[in-house]
Structure 1
Amino acid sequence: MSKAAIYCRLSEEDRNKASAEDDSVSIQNQKSMLLQYAMQQGWEVFHIYSDDDYTGSDRNRPEFRRLLADAQAHKFDIILCKTQSRFTRELELVEKYIHGLFPLWGIRFVSIVDNADTDNKGNKKSRQINGLVNEWYLEDMSDNIRSVLTNRREQGFHIGAFVLYGYQKDPAQKGHLIIDPEAAAVVCRVFTLFSQGYGKTAIARILNEDGIPNPTEYKRRKGLRYQSPPGKTGTLWKYPAISHMLTNEIYIGNMVQGRYGSVSYKSKQNKPRPKDQWIRVEHTHEAIIGQELWERVQALIQEKSKPFTGGSIGLFAKKVRCANCGYTMRSTKNRGRHYLQCSNRRVSKDACTGAFISVEKLERIVVQELNRLSAQYLDQDELERNLNFSGSLQAQKRKTLDQRSKYQTQQEEFQTGLRELYLDKVRGILSEADFLSLSQDFSKEKELLEEKIAETNRRLEELDVRIAAGDNRRELVQRYANLEHLTREMVEALIDYILVWKRRPGESDPPVEIHWNF
């Protein structure tokens, strides 16, 4: 008997349909339709994979990724969907999986409403047309949404799930901001301290010593489900938060939006936009900072802003991290020499032990290591004996797959735990309050696991790209062999990031760990 894997997806657009009886409105109706079809065909149902509230262009749907991993492992013979668009709306993925990898893996794809079936060679063009139509739908929907959001921004309405620290959403008018008195008092204090001559790191230290939570922690304490960007965790104020606050025009009543834009409708990745493309509307809400104080602060910032070296970007700018806390090390200058230091140690006594190294010393360490690598990789005999580039990447991939599998197993356990909690509540074993408390803990852990799974998926994609590209280390190292000094171009090409530890007593150089791009 053939084994079939059922895949269902419910997106936000489905929730807005008028008829509750529409068979695409609920996951349950999709499951019922597909189960009945599988029974009629005499197929054994291996598993039901179900993604709730995900778009057809989201490649990181957790159950979608799990389905693909199980398909590659050939745990079933058939993938069964309601329509091809439930599996994906991207033509690229239609070609990659439905017409490419699935046949190689021995997997048949069937969608019952639009009659897609990879066992039917005659309807391949129909599947491609379906994929093209779905692709157009995605693009048109993205353009329409972007147009509506741009129009709202141009009218001065706030667009976004969370507002800037110091403000809150006006419950009486959508898109309008009102002052949050508690946070606004902190904003005023920051601007006042800076105008009195305090530095940004010093201000962060003052706020931390007074026990004032940073904007991320403040949002959480207010009950907002705010997710900080990757690598930006903790409750302490730091230099960047103060720096961004002091230059944000929203604090003087001007709405400035559109600083970042998506790379394409297929990706959630955003990139900075040029300043002339920002959408700026004046006097849209009440100001927290008066014009006189604002202008005094901007003048001070202009006076203090000095380029790192002769107007050019620093040699290791944004490439060096403190190994203790992960904070990006900042450049300083003393008696004509340039240094990199972890300023996190200055924002609080217990924040970090701090790492410190001169740019000259770090350049020497990197050049020495690069020349050592060049000597190794340009020795063909040594290269053949020791270099197993593809094998090491494959090992990394296997390790990452195992890690993702563990996360997915834990995720299933949490889902089972949630169901059991609900049954205990129904049976009267758990009170409503206990159920809510426990289920919230389960949900938080489940969300954390989803983030970890998404991160491993991104890592797997990177590894696949590197494996496909082949071993280019020899070419890169050969290009930069026998160096005496580095340029910024070389640093960008060769180095992913560098970790620096605090110098140990009795040693001249701090421990350094270089993560290369090759």
Structure 2
Amino acid sequence: MEKKLTVIPPNQINSDAKQPDNMKYRVAAYCRVSTEQEEQLGSFANQITYYTEYINGKEEYQLAGIFSDEGISGTGTRKRAGFRSMIAACEAGKIDLVLTKSISRFARNTRDCLHYARHLKSLGIPVIFEKEGINTMEASGELLFTILSSLAQEESRNISENTRWGIRSRFQQGIPHINTTGFLGYDKDEAGHLIVNQEQAKVVRRIFQDFLEGWQPSEIARKLNEEKVPGVHGEPRWAAVSVLRILRNEKYKGDLLMQKYYVRDFLTRELEQNDGRLTQYYIENNHEAIVERELWEAAQLEQKRIEAFKKTHQIRELGSGSLEPFYGKIFCSQCGGRFVKKRGKSQWKCINTAGEKRKTCQAQPVSEEKIEEQLSLAWAELVSRRGNLLPDWEKEVSQGNPLESLRASQMQELTGKYPAWQHAAKKKRMLVLEILVAQGSVSTVTFMDGIRLKAGEADNA
């Protein structure tokens, strides 16, 4: 009787696969194009059609899937969902053979290419690169494969360098390279110019207005989420960092800073902030502004003021989860510690008398009612001085920096519009800078424009 040899791949040993006489190799194909250009997408569709027909046309083959990534760079695998799904299927024993057009379609990263080819080889799964005629299970394939992978990686390096050169050349000519996909407030027209997205611009303006009225980035984000205000991707997923990015983006005042970031490594495609390594290019009045230039500048100065304030008082955050307007603004005149209030409670007490070990401050707690009472007196005193303060405020409006000008303008308006604290209190975030407490009572109130009133002055109002 004639001997008959049947090869059983490792991943089918002790499995429920068909008997050897009827066994078919489960074959998968991997296809990829790295751009979304029309001609590339045509090639992508052709690859899928070709491998589907090719595998189905082989009697000994069984189609195990066409895995693909469209418009994704081959220099890494992190963003290539199709590739990772194929590897997972191989590891699960669902694939016996992988076909792909070429090494450059599989990967342009030598490290990843060799890693995954050898990983699949260890599972008994060959990868066949049709263009190069390489089968990774053959003895001669390893050397040739390594050489060709290196060449593919070098090709990717050249493409990356040429792309960077092109972008930087346009920068030098003042031609921007802007991605508006993750950029709230603007779209691009057919010529590539930034145009205002009016609905999104309303959200941007609101963020600047809230911030300059005393709301902290974390609080602004919380409000936007609660109101289900859509973000740049259409979902209400706001965080303090996303609010800060908007507040710091010069594009909202109509300017454009180019080359803020650069690609550190063409293999990983990771961006790194340009801290002076590469030349930057700044264009003023590049496009229509969403926020007035003075307001944008005031927001930058306010951020610096907040950072200095937090450093002085050794606190990490001004905004609170409960949206408490005085969180991080009330301090102990005895030890300098921050006063805190538990949720649902009406008393504030020094954090250094919180009952923990080694806390030595003897400051008395102060009630919410007492703070409001003292603020009412301080506000009444300030309003009574309005006539004398107006010349100074007017001088700040015309000669101060954007933040000083804004605060002086706010004080002019609010002292005239809200002479009673019960009405002015709704703007307390942008009125009160700091409150000092001593002996269970407010000792000093400092307003946002820098005016400081002691308790005695307010009591005599």
Give the TM interval when normalised to the shorter protein: 0.5 to 0.7
Correspondence for 1:71 among 71, 90, 103: 90
Query: For 1:147, what is the secondary structure of its paired residue?
Result: helix
Question: Residues 310-329 of structure 1 correspond to what in structure 2 (within 5 A)?
Answer: none
Q: 2:67 is aligned with what amino acid? A: S
Q: 2:85 is aligned with what amino acid? A: R
Deviation of 1:32 after TM superposition, in Å, equals: 2.8
1:392-412 deviation line (CA, Å, top 9, x unaligned): xxxxxxxxxxxxxxxxxxxxx
Contact residue 33 and residue 105 of structure 2 kept, 8 A: no
* RMSD of aligned residue pairs (Cα, Å): 4.6
1:373-404 deviation line (CA, Å, top 9, x unaligned): xxxxxxxxxxxxxxxxxxxxxxxxxxxxxxxx
1:200-250 deviation line (CA, Å, top 9, x unaligned): 35983897599582533xx52xxxxxxxxxxxx6366x6445443333221
Contact residue 67 and residue 85 of structure 2 kept, 8 A: no
Higher percent of residues as helix: 1
Q: Using the alignment, how far apart are the partners of 1:51 and 1:340 within structure 2?
A: 56
Q: 1:116 aligned to 2:117?
A: no
Contact residue 194 and residue 203 of structure 1 kept, 8 A: no
* Aligned twin of 2:122: 104
Q: Using the alignment, how far apart are the partners of 1:107 and 1:206 within structure 2?
A: 51
Q: Using the alignment, how far apart are the partners of 2:258 and 2:313 within structure 1?
A: 28
Deviation of 1:280 after TM superposition, in Å, equals: 2.8
* Aligned twin of 2:75: 57
Q: 1:3 to 1:189 in 2, by over 3 A?
A: closer
Q: 1:126 to 1:340 in 2, by over 3 A?
A: farther
Q: 1:213 to 1:69 in 2, by over 3 A?
A: closer
Contact residue 338 and residue 360 of structure 1 kept, 8 A: no
Correspondence for 1:234 among 236, 261, 266: 236
Q: 1:215 is aligned with what amino acid? A: G
Compute the TM-score of the two structures, normalised by the length of structure 2: 0.55
Contact residue 254 and residue 283 of structure 1 kept, 8 A: yes
Q: 5+ unaligned residues in a row in structure 1: which ranges?
A: 221-232, 325-329, 346-357, 365-518
Larger radius of gyration: 2
Query: For 1:215, what is the secondary structure of its paired residue?
Result: coil
Q: Using the alignment, how far apart are the partners of 1:239 and 1:48 within structure 2?
A: 43
* Aligned twin of 2:158: 140
* Aligned twin of 1:292: 294
1:471-497 deviation line (CA, Å, top 9, x unaligned): xxxxxxxxxxxxxxxxxxxxxxxxxxx
Question: Residues 306-345 of structure 1 correspond to what in structure 2 (within 5 A)?
Answer: 306=308, 308-309=310-311, 334-335=331-332, 336-337=336-337
Q: Using the alignment, how far apart are the partners of 1:31 and 1:249 within structure 2?
A: 50
Q: 5+ unaligned residues in a row in structure 2: which ranges?
A: 1-22, 344-350, 358-461
Question: Residues 6-17 of structure 1 correspond to what in structure 2 (within 5 A)?
Answer: 6-13=28-35, 16-17=38-39
Q: 1:17 to 1:290 in 2, by over 3 A?
A: closer
Q: Using the alignment, how far apart are the partners of 2:73 and 2:166 within structure 1?
A: 19
Correspondence for 1:198 among 210, 214, 226: 214
**Number of residue pairs aligned between Structure 1 and Structure 2:** 315
Correspondence for 2:100 among 81, 84, 94: 81
Q: 1:183 to 1:306 in 2, by over 3 A?
A: same
Q: Using the alignment, how far apart are the partners of 2:222 and 2:41 within structure 1?
A: 57
Q: Using the alignment, how far apart are the partners of 1:73 and 1:46 within structure 2?
A: 16
Contact residue 69 and residue 83 of structure 2 kept, 8 A: no
Contact residue 2 and residue 77 of structure 1 kept, 8 A: no
* Aligned twin of 1:256: 257
Identity of aligned residues (%): 19
Q: 1:94 aligned to 2:113?
A: yes
Contact residue 261 and residue 274 of structure 2 kept, 8 A: yes
Contact residue 32 and residue 44 of structure 2 kept, 8 A: no
* Aligned twin of 1:177: 194
Compute the TM-score of the two structures, normalised by the length of structure 1: 0.50
Higher relative contact order (CA 8 A, sep 6+): 1
Query: For 2:286, what is the secondary structure of its paired residue?
Result: coil
